[in-house]
Structure 1
Amino acid sequence: MNSANDYTLDLFVGPAFVARLAFDPELNSFSLTYSPTWAADRHGYALSPHLPLDGKASSSAIRRFLENLLPEGRALDVACAHSNIQKNNIFGLIRYLGNETTGAVTFLPAGQTPQALEPQCRELMHSELQERIWRRNELPFTVWDGRVRMSIAGFQDKLLVNRVGDRLFLVDGSLSSTHILKPEPLNTALPFMVANEHFCMKLASRMSVRRYGQDHVAEVNILRTPDPVLSIRRFDRRWRTDQFVAGPDGVKVPVAERLHIIDGCQATDISVAAKYERNLGNGKDVAHIRDGASFERLFATRQYLEQPAVGVRRMVMWVVTTLLTGNSDAHGKNLSFYVSRAGLRVAELYDLVSVMQYDPQKLEHELAMAFGDEFKLEGVKSFALADFCERAKVSRPFFARELAALCEIAIVEALTQSADPVYTGEEVMLVKTITDFVVQRAKLLLKLAKDIPKFKKDDF
């Protein structure tokens, strides 16, 4: 006989009880009830703008929020196969994977608390990591020590670890990961993806520091095991300087505090299936349907931003990196926001890749989100950029200034970053190719920027 608790999960942020998630399997519906203590606390906040503290979120909004926490593609297939849970069983998957998702929330079965969880930690040697990279075709990279360790969104192979210097630790229980590891993709059509993403991220970081005096890009570096692995520091985790757990050989493994973030799909209340603007694909009969994530939708989140002007500026920088690097896969889940009682803040940029370096016959080059009505990078001219500004409600003179300033910086910093000795072998040639592409794009965009403010309202 089932009990009501079988289909409830308690949500915690740190030790604080936040809300209770309930699922009715007969009605296939969700409900979310916040703790009165959490709702009344000055530090308490709604988990997203579409899951308000009054508990009046619709079942569909709750479902969309949860879906966007889950991995995608092969990683989701592995999680389903390993747990014997069907893909459409969102509640079951969150129950299975919810101890550490993106953001601050821990999902636990009713009656359990984070305080009762024991810290679990074992060292992951580089040799073991290398062996598992080689064996990915026979043993999924997301399964370690008999359990799935991929509980964040995305398609690529990833591993969550706690990193201390160059030492890596698999953690569980009360401990959180601090870094995401991404080896080279299995897809041979995507060679040197680690160097590609590292270069684009480091370039954006340099641009951010030069333009704004602050780094608004996630920290990355390359580990070699000896295969290259991209290590990304999680910006939704913050080390506690006063708390450590004793790891192997007495090494101090930091306890990480979880910070709550949501991605662009959660912030705009759309399904993971709609992370691309052409949510039904680009076939001739459906290309006109554009109900998915778009720049217009994402910039509309300014209504929730704690500091709208600052947030818009960060989103504009993200847009410019897309134009400069040819990151055609910049979709609705590639932008995130910190969440607090005061509102949303645009988080550090991530997943920046020059997709245009790869064969268009093997990897889609169509833009995930259009500039105006233009889905081809080479078709984005001054009118499309001005149209983008009108739809996103961004001042055209402001956008033109930011575009020009960032392009000027990119021309210099791309060349500087390309000289980084971290790149070896054939990576060097790929990085040079991306550098040339960025410089060429920057010079073109500088010319286009001059015309963006010249259009009139009636032109759109």
Structure 2
Amino acid sequence: MADPQLALWFDGVHTATITDHGFGTISLQYTPEAQNSSALLSTKLPIREEPYPWVECVHFLDGLLPEDDVRKMLADKARIPHEDTFMMLGAYGKDCAGAVQVLPLGEEPNNEPHKIRWTTDEELAKAIASLPTAPLGIGIDSSIRVSLGGLQGKLLVVRDGPRIGMPLDGSPTTHILKPARLNEDGTEQWPSIAELELFGLRLVEASVRLSRSKRQIAAAAEVITVQGRKAILVERYDRDAQSKPVRRIHQEDFCQALGMKQKYQKPAENSPTLKLIAQVLTDNASNPPQERELLLKYLTVNLALGNCDMHARNIGLTIDRGTVRLAPAYDVVPTAAWAHADRELSLHVGAGAHIDEVDGRHLMDEAASWGVPSKIAARQIRTALGEMLDALPALIEQSRAEGWFTPMILDVADDTRKRIGRLTPPSA
């Protein structure tokens, strides 16, 4: 009897076949159609004839699925083992991150008009309230078959003007809705998290500049309220909602690109580092110097903001029509704003492991390890910090004018100004 198989579709093409060999092992093999195209799934999985064994493809495929408890809850809903990647992709792979769809072998993507269940405020609030036991909105309709990596409670939704809907039968989503997590007494576990994440995204967009480039720097977002509960609604940069039908844009995170399970830097473990991430850009990006500049500016702004959670699954690549480059910034949260949050950096900067110890020398040492000349690195860091300092007053006023201001924004801005001084590279 032949081994069970699934078809991995990429940008409308059957690009690879996933085969279940039993005992929890699977392989991935590019199809002949893919071998005659530029349909690259991952920088870690270049197109070739021979199949990729489990040890080489596992981290890319697992990266298409949620993590830990969310994955277990999805598995329980489908009554399948959570550790069985093949079965999980078969159950939830119809709309993954990037341009990937995983379908039963012989089934083709549905090109008919997308099926959307438009929700009332009451239904949306119920789906949000059910996230601890029904992640990604699976409790609202049995036809929801979406997947996205990560631990945070979120809904994958479709936004059309004032309407928000749930995708059915693998229809592409356009936005990610992340509600503030609540304590048992109804207070926010991380006070003002939606507003602070929006502040972080807007600050990155205002602070990071690339010469001769008008590309998107950070994910677009807004703060909304669903029956009294704050949430951030983030536009997916891996979807082109202006295209009809919605076009999927391929992306992968750096755990996938590095072929690693661990997303945090840990001593004596096979774990990601900023140097390894920069090397992926050097080896694969369409314009390596520009992408390293962007990575350095992302890093600089995140440090000044107080985001300790810039880990390898919160940074990614877009792989679109032959162009490989750093993805827009997302999940930019000033975690240092909360006294009870971990202040260790998910990815260390030079020899600096904690937000309170990292300074301009650490940043310069980190950039040097990527091969960036010191004069260029110092200029790029100073430029990002200067743009950031200039942007703070206007962004605070913008938050007031748009109605998402919270006093914690002022605290974050004050702390950011202090870190800007410390992170400025020393004079030569």
1:17 aligns with 2:19: no
**1:228 corresponds to:** 230
Which one-letter code corresponds to 1:48 in the other structure? S
**1:163 corresponds to:** 159
Shift in Å, 1:30: 2.3
**2:254 corresponds to:** 264
Shift in Å, 1:18: 1.0
Shift in Å, 1:147: 5.5
**1:198 corresponds to:** 198
**1:365 corresponds to:** 343
1:166-185 equivalences under 5 Å are 166-173=162-169, 175-185=171-181
Secondary structure at 1:438's aligned position in 2?
Answer: helix
**2:103 corresponds to:** 108
**1:389 corresponds to:** 367
Over 3 Å counting, the alpha-carbon distance change for 1:222 and 1:406 in structure 2 is same
Secondary structure at 1:369's aligned position in 2?
Answer: strand
Shift in Å, 1:138: 6.4
Match of 1:40 among 36, 41, 56: 36
Alpha-carbon distance between aligned partners in 2 of 1:139 and 1:64, rounded to the nearest angstrom = 25
* 1:67–1:90 contact (8 Å) kept in structure 2: yes
Alpha-carbon distance between aligned partners in 2 of 1:115 and 1:408, rounded to the nearest angstrom = 48
Q: 155-164 or 65-74, which moves further after superposition?
A: 65-74
1:38-437 equivalences under 5 Å are 38-41=34-37, 44-56=38-50, 57-115=52-110, 119-136=114-131, 142-143=137-138, 144-146=140-142, 151-173=147-169, 175-186=171-182, 188-208=188-208, 214-225=215-226, 226-241=228-243, 243=244, 255-271=245-261, 274-278=262-266, 288-301=267-280, 302-340=282-320, 342=322, 344-360=324-340, 363-419=341-397, 420-421=399-400, 428-437=406-415
Over 3 Å counting, the alpha-carbon distance change for 1:317 and 1:120 in structure 2 is same
Secondary structure at 1:181's aligned position in 2?
Answer: strand
TM-score (norm 2): 0.91
Alpha-carbon distance between aligned partners in 2 of 1:24 and 1:117, rounded to the nearest angstrom = 33
* 2:132–2:153 contact (8 Å) kept in structure 1: no
Match of 1:4 among 2, 15, 20: 2
Which one-letter code corresponds to 2:45 in the other structure? L
Alpha-carbon distance between aligned partners in 2 of 1:383 and 1:413, rounded to the nearest angstrom = 24
* 1:181–1:231 contact (8 Å) kept in structure 2: yes
Which one-letter code corresponds to 1:54 in the other structure? R
* 1:414–1:438 contact (8 Å) kept in structure 2: no
RMSD: 2.3
Alpha-carbon distance between aligned partners in 2 of 1:141 and 1:12, rounded to the nearest angstrom = 22
Shift in Å, 1:343: 5.1
Shift in Å, 1:219: 0.6
Secondary structure at 1:4's aligned position in 2?
Answer: coil
Q: Could you list the per-position Cα deviations for residues 320-361 of structure 1 after superposition, in whole angstroms to 9, with x for gaps in the alignment?
A: 12211111111001111112564521111100010001123x
Secondary structure at 2:410's aligned position in 1?
Answer: helix
Alpha-carbon distance between aligned partners in 2 of 1:33 and 1:137, rounded to the nearest angstrom = 36
Over 3 Å counting, the alpha-carbon distance change for 1:126 and 1:55 in structure 2 is farther
Q: Could you list the per-position Cα deviations for residues 364-423 of structure 1 after superposition, in whole angstroms to 9, with x for gaps in the alignment?
A: 110011112220112113332232123222222222111111111111212211122267
Secondary structure at 2:87's aligned position in 1?
Answer: helix
Secondary structure at 2:182's aligned position in 1?
Answer: coil
Shift in Å, 1:174: 5.7
Over 3 Å counting, the alpha-carbon distance change for 1:120 and 1:214 in structure 2 is closer
Alpha-carbon distance between aligned partners in 1 of 2:120 and 2:339, rounded to the nearest angstrom = 35
Alpha-carbon distance between aligned partners in 1 of 2:102 and 2:132, rounded to the nearest angstrom = 31
Alpha-carbon distance between aligned partners in 2 of 1:77 and 1:126, rounded to the nearest angstrom = 28
Which one-letter code corresponds to 1:53 in the other structure? I
* 1:201–1:218 contact (8 Å) kept in structure 2: yes
Alpha-carbon distance between aligned partners in 1 of 2:210 and 2:97, rounded to the nearest angstrom = 29
* 1:158–1:183 contact (8 Å) kept in structure 2: yes
Over 3 Å counting, the alpha-carbon distance change for 1:369 and 1:341 in structure 2 is same
Gaps of 5+ in 1: 244-254, 279-287, 455-460
Alpha-carbon distance between aligned partners in 2 of 1:19 and 1:335, rounded to the nearest angstrom = 25
Alpha-carbon distance between aligned partners in 1 of 2:20 and 2:151, rounded to the nearest angstrom = 27
Alpha-carbon distance between aligned partners in 2 of 1:25 and 1:135, rounded to the nearest angstrom = 34
Alpha-carbon distance between aligned partners in 1 of 2:221 and 2:119, rounded to the nearest angstrom = 19
Alpha-carbon distance between aligned partners in 2 of 1:70 and 1:422, rounded to the nearest angstrom = 38
Over 3 Å counting, the alpha-carbon distance change for 1:21 and 1:223 in structure 2 is same
Alpha-carbon distance between aligned partners in 2 of 1:141 and 1:127, rounded to the nearest angstrom = 17
**1:284 corresponds to:** none
TM-score (norm 1): 0.85
Q: How many residues align?
A: 418
* 2:176–2:236 contact (8 Å) kept in structure 1: yes
